[in-house]
Chain A
Amino acid sequence: MSEHVDGNSLAGPLSELFAVDLTTASARCLGCGDVSELARAMVYPDPAGHVVRCSQCDDVLMVVVQEPDSVCIELRGMTWLKVPR
């Protein structure tokens, strides 16, 4: 298990799915209410994907799972995601 990195590292994997750069989007943590850009989140890389945690309370914001024919994004830990345009 490698050391954690941060939300900047999600730019590539998420670019497979979204036309906008979601690392500049702000997420509200369901656990503690903190609002931060996704780039500021803590990211724990894993061969199966990424676990994304709140930089303030460490609750899971999001899980990105790489599957052979799809990518599954679990968003259980955020109330909303605000995307700049």
Chain B
Amino acid sequence: MSTLSERETRDAVPHRVGLWHAGVVVSTKTESPTGRSIVLDVPGWGGNIAGQHADLRLTAADGYQAVRSYSIASVSDGDRVELAVDRLPTGEVSPYLVDELRPGDQLELRGPLGGWFVWTPSLPGAVQLIGGGSGIVPLMAMIRSRTASGSDAPFRLLYSVRSPDDAFFRSELDTPTPGLDVTWLYTRVTPEGWGRSPGRITVDDLAESAFPASLSPAVFVCGPTGFVETVARALVALGHDPHKVKTERFGGA
């Protein structure tokens, strides 16, 4: 019995996810002082729906490998994938992606991953998106999916960022879109003359700007773990059905 042939047989089984695909950086765009979006061409990717993520693998010259998960900002049925990454000060991978990566560079990707924190145009009803920092990324994919499909589902976005400069996708979100309502929340620095003092998101912000529980919106919350858990608790306190609230935590940030 040959172990090698067993392995060869196993590897020959078609399996759309789980495989690592070689991707090539097509372009990058600065989104904020600490973040940028990265467009990759990934032959064999085969498309993704809004809200999914990819695992990204980097291999150093000495063979050391690091794997990290990043949400996908784009929606397509092809091989183009747009990620957006915020640099974590103590990060091992994100500083490289934000500061060093150049068009033509190669990365390995696995995915698309995750079938739970997703929105598709076939889902009926109102949608409340709540993002903190780079937690906007999968929510941006949902907004783009809504636009691309011509869906008229009512969407609201609450987007919490440190300062106006820290917003990802600013110009796209500032472009008026019928049926999409965007509320900005600033935690440290606000634009001049802004009505709300800088501060973290509160239950009052949600009561004021989010769809009410009585509308039974589908709610998607994404961001640093502390942000997500604060928001999820506040939503339940405001009467939202916990089953309608989907969350994705990025960990510490």
Interface set of A (CB-CB < 8 Å, partner B): 2-9, 11-12, 15-17, 19, 21, 23-24, 37, 39-40, 45
Contact = CB atoms under 8 A, between A and B. Distances in A.
B114 A5 contact: no
Interface of B: 15, 17-18, 53, 55, 67, 69, 110-111, 113-117, 225-226, 246-252
Given A12-B111, A15-B18, A19-B15, A5 B250 contact: yes
Contact of A12 (B15, B113, B249): B113
Nearest to B138: A8
Contacts, number: 62
B114 A16 contact: no
A5 B225 contact: yes
B115 A21 contact: yes
A6 B248 contact: yes
A12 to B, nearest CB: 4
Given A6-B248, A11-B53, A15-B18, A39 B225 contact: no
A80 B110 CA distance: 28
B15 A8 contact: no
A37 B67 contact: no
Nearest to A12: B55
A45 B249 CA distance: 12
A39 B117 contact: yes
A21 B18 contact: no
Contacts of A21: 17, 113-116
B117 A5 contact: no
9 contacts: A3-B251, A5-B250, A6-B249, A8-B248, A11-B115, A15-B17, A15-B18, A19-B15, A39-B117
B236 to A, nearest CB: 12
B15 A4 contact: no
B55 A4 contact: no
Q: Which 9 A-B pairs have the closest CB atoms?
A: A39-B116, A11-B113, A12-B55, A15-B18, A3-B252, A15-B17, A11-B114, A21-B115, A5-B249
Contacts of A40: 247
Given A2-B252, A4-B251, A23 B114 contact: yes
Contacts of A17: 18
